[in-house]
Structure 1
C-alpha cells in the first residue's frame, strides 16, 4: 500500500467517525445513583426504628425504596440499551478498524528513507506531510472514541452483572419497611377522630345500596349515634396541584373509554405492584374496606362536601373517623413483586408493562362526581 493510499484511507475513516457523539445522559451514572439511593433507604429503615413518629419515618422510607427501585429499573434499561448500541457499532466497524490498523502498521514499519521519498519529489513529500499532520488529530480523536466505547461497554456489562445483588437487597428492604409500616399503623392510637364507626349501620348501608352514588350519599348514617363532628378544613387553594396518591401514570382520564369500552367518572392510574398509596391531603377517613365490585376502597373527606374515593387497593390502613395528615399511608396496591430475574429481563423494556396495578380515583362534590383532573396534578410520571 502506497503512502498516498494509506493517507486517503485514514482521512476517509476519520471523516466517518467525526461527530459521533455519546448518547444523551450516562446510564452507568444513573444506575450507580439509584444504587446509592437504595443504600440510603436501607439506612433510613434502620433509623426509623427509633424515630418518634415511626409511621411518618417508615412512610418516607418506603417511598425512598420505591423511588430507588424505579430509578434502578430505569438505569438498567438505559444501560442495556446503551451497551447494545455500542456493541452493534463496534461490531459493524470491525472491518474499518482492521483496515486502520493495517494502515498504521504499514506506516510504522516503512523504513525512514522510504517515508521521506515521494514520486513527485520534495514538493510531493511536503504535501504528504501536511496531509498527515492534518489527519493525525482526527485519527487520535477516533482512537480515543474507540477506547472510550470499549471501556463503556465493559463498565455497563459489569454494572448489569452486579445489579442482581443491589436489587435483591432493595426488594428485601422495601418488603421489611412495608411490614414495619403496617405494624406501626396498627399500633397507632394518637390520631384525632371526628366520629366512631358503627359496624351494624355500615353493614346495613352496604347491603342496601347497589351503586357508589347510593353508598356515598348514605355515609352520614355509619357513625355511632349518627353524629359526625363539624370540619372547617378547606383545600380550595390546592385545587389542581394535589399530588396523585400513588407513584404512577394516568392510564385513563375521566370519561375516557378503557379497553373494554367502559367509561367512568374518575381516572385510572397505573402503578407498580405493592406500591404505597398515601392520602393526597389531610382528610377524614369516612370509610375503608371492601365495597360493591370495587375491591378494597378508602373514602377520604378533605373538606366538607368533598370526597376522594380510591379503589383497587389490596390492603387499606386506618379506621373510619380518623383524621390523617397529608402523605399519611392509606394502603398498598396489589400484585406480586417480580423476581430478580424478571426485573433484570425488563431492563431493555421501556413499554411500562411493569405498572400492572390500577388505582381508580373518583372525586365527588355536592354528591356528584367531578373530573379529578381539576383537583390532581396529572402531568408528571410518578
Structure 2
C-alpha cells in the first residue's frame, strides 16, 4: 500500500474512534435528559423525605433499643441526661444528612455541567462526522490503481489531514467528559448509600427518644394532676390574650401572683408544719431542682454559644420581609420532617400549647428578662411549669405535608420552625446568640 493509502487508513481509523466516542456521548446525554433544569436547592431534602419513608426498623433493632432503655436508672436526672444525649445524637445525624444532601447537590451540579458540555458540541461533531461518513461511503481511489486519480487522492489526504486533528482533539475532550461523568455518577450513588444509612440511624435514634419520653412521662405520673391544672390555667390565659406580648405578660403576672401567694402561705404556717409539709411539696414539683444547673450563666452571656434548636437552615431572618407586608420578628428555620426540637437554653416552660395563628407554641422563660418563643412544631413534649435544660428535647416537627410548612419548587413542603427571642417583652435579633456555624458569621 502507498504512503498516502496508509495515511488515509490511519485517518479513517481515528475517525472511527471519534465516531464511537460521539455516539457514546449522545447516548449518555439522551439517557439523562441533557437540558434538564438547574438543580433545585430543595431536591436533597425531598430525597431525604423519600428515603425516610422507606426506612423501617427491624424487630431486632427495636428489641435492642428497649433493652437499652431498660438499663437506664429510673430517676429524673438519669432519664433527662439520656434524653439530652439522644437528642444530640439525633441532631448530629440530622446535620450529617444535611451535609450529604449539600454534597449531592454539588455533584448533581457537576453532572449538569458535563451534560451541557456534551450537548453544546453535539451539532458541530455531527456535521464533521457526517462529512467523514460520506467520505467513507465514497472514498477516493488508491493512487497505484489509476495514476490519473493521484491528484484526487492527494486532495482527500490534505482535507482529512486538516480535519482530523481538530476532530481528535474534540474526541479527547469527549472521552474526558464521559470519564468524569462516570466518576460523578459513582460518587452520587455512594452519597445516596450514605444518606440511606444515616436516615436509618436517625430513625432508630428518634425511636429511642420516644421511648425515653414515655419512660419520663411514667416517672412523672405523680405530678400529672398539678401539670394538668397548670396547663388548664395557661390555656385560659391564652384564650384571653390578643397577642404574644399580652400572653407572656399575663403568664408572668400569674406566675408572680402564685409565688406571692406561696410566700404568704409559708409565712402563716407554723414552723413544725413547715417541716412536716416540706417533703410533699418538693415531691409535687414538676421538675426537681437537681435537674437545673447549679450556676447557670445568664442568657445575655450566651451570645455566640447557642445552637439552633433544630437542624436546618435559616431561610428568613429577623428584620426581613415576612411575605405579608410586615417584617420578621424572629428567624425561620427550614428543617427535616419529624426533626427533634430542643431547648436552646436552660429555662422554665411558661406556656406550651396552641395559640392563635402560631399553631403549637412553646414559650421558655430563660431568665434575665429573656423569653424564647418556638412555633411551628406538630408535637410538644413538655408542659407548662416544667424546667428544661439546654439541649433537652421539647417537641418535634411535623411531616412534610402538615401545617407550618412552605411549598418548594418541586412540590414538596418543608417544615419550618419559628424562633423568636424577647427581652422585657420586646423582640430582639437572635443572630448574636447563634453559634458561628448557624449564624453565617466567619
* TM-score under structure 2 length normalisation: 0.55
> Are the equivalent residues in 1 in contact too, given 2:299–2:370 (CA < 8 A)?
no
- Contact kept, 8 Å, 2:93 with 2:198, in 1: the verdict is yes
Q: CA deviation at 1:155?
A: 2.6
State yes or no: 1:213 paired with 2:261.
no
SS in 1 for 2:358: coil
Give the aligned partner of residue 334 of structure 2: 270
The change in CA–CA distance for 1:277 and 1:219 in structure 2 (over 3 A counts) is same
- CA displacement at 1:201 relative to structure 2: 2.8
Aligned residue number for residue 80 of structure 1: 108
Q: Which residue of 1 aligns with 2:208?
A: 180
Tell me if structure 2 keeps the 8 A contact 1:48–1:58. no
Q: What number of residue pairs does the alignment pair up?
A: 338
For 1:59, the equivalent position in structure 2 comes to 87
**Which of 380, 385, 392 is residue 328 of structure 1 equivalent to?**
392
Counterpart in 2 of 1:203?
Answer: 235
Aligned to 2:420: 362
Structure 1 Cα separation of the partners of residues 357 and 171 of structure 2? 68
Q: Tell me what 1:260 maps to.
A: 324
State the shift of 1:94 in Å.
Answer: 9.1
Q: Deviations over 1:181-205 (max 9, x none)?
A: 12312322789x9xx6543432332
Matched, 1:288 2:357: no
- SS class of match (2:439): coil
Shift of 1:222: 5.1
The residue number in structure 1 matching 2:376 is: 312
Which residue of 144, 159, 176 maps to 2:189? 159
Equivalent residue number for residue 179 of structure 2: 148
- CA drift of 1:315 comes to 0.8
1:56 Cα deviation after fit: 2.9
Question: Aligned partners of 1:48, 1:304: CA distance in 2, in Å?
Answer: 40
The CA distance in 2 between the partners of 1:206 and 1:231, in whole Å, is: 32
What SS does structure 2 have at the residue aligned with 1:293? Answer: helix
CA separation in 2, counterparts of 1:254 and 1:222?
29
If each structure's helix is expressed as a fraction of its own residues, which one has the higher value? 2
- Cα pair distance change 1:180/1:335, threshold 3 Å: same
1:150 & 1:266 partners in 2: Cα distance? 43
Please say if residues 233 and 302 of structure 1, whose CA atoms lie closer than 8 Å, have aligned partners that are also in contact: no
Q: Distance in 2 between matches of 1:283 and 1:139?
A: 66
Greater CA drift, 72-81 or 275-284: 72-81
**Cα pair 1:363 1:370 within 8 Å, conserved:** yes
Q: Distance in 1 between matches of 2:234 and 2:322?
A: 32
CA contact (8 A) 2:86 2:205 kept: yes
| Correspondence for 1:376 | 434
CA 1:170–1:239: 2 relative to 1, 3 Å: closer
Q: Counterparts of 2:255 and 2:410 in 1: how far apart (Å)?
A: 40
For 1:29-48, what per-residue CA distance to the aligned partner results, in whole angstroms no more than 9, with x for missing partners?
Answer: x9xxx9xxx9xxx9xx8886
- Structure 1 position 317, deviation (Å): 1.6
Name the SS of the counterpart of 1:244 in structure 2.
Answer: coil
Distance 1:233 1:218, change over 3 A: farther
**Alignment partners' CA distance in 2, 1:219 and 1:231:** 25
Cα distance, 1:167 vs structure 2: 5.6
Displacement of 1:172: 5.5
Counterpart CA distance in 2 for 1:241 and 1:232 is 14
Once the two structures are TM-superposed, the CA of residue 296 in structure 1 deviates from its matched residue by 0.8
Question: What SS does the corresponding residue of 2:356 show, helix, strand or coil?
Answer: coil
Q: Is the 8 A contact 2:303 2:433 kept in 1?
A: yes
Deviation at 1:71, TM superposition (A): 3.4
How many angstroms apart in 2 are the aligned matches of 1:153 and 1:287?
50
**RMSD of aligned C-alpha atoms?**
5.8
Q: Which residue of 2 aligns with 1:129?
A: none
Distance 1:374 1:89, change over 3 A: closer
Deviation of 1:275 after TM superposition, in Å, equals 2.1
Q: Is the 8 A contact 1:276 1:332 kept in 2?
A: yes
Q: Which runs of 5+ in 2 are unaligned?
A: 19-43, 73-80, 137-165, 263-284, 403-407
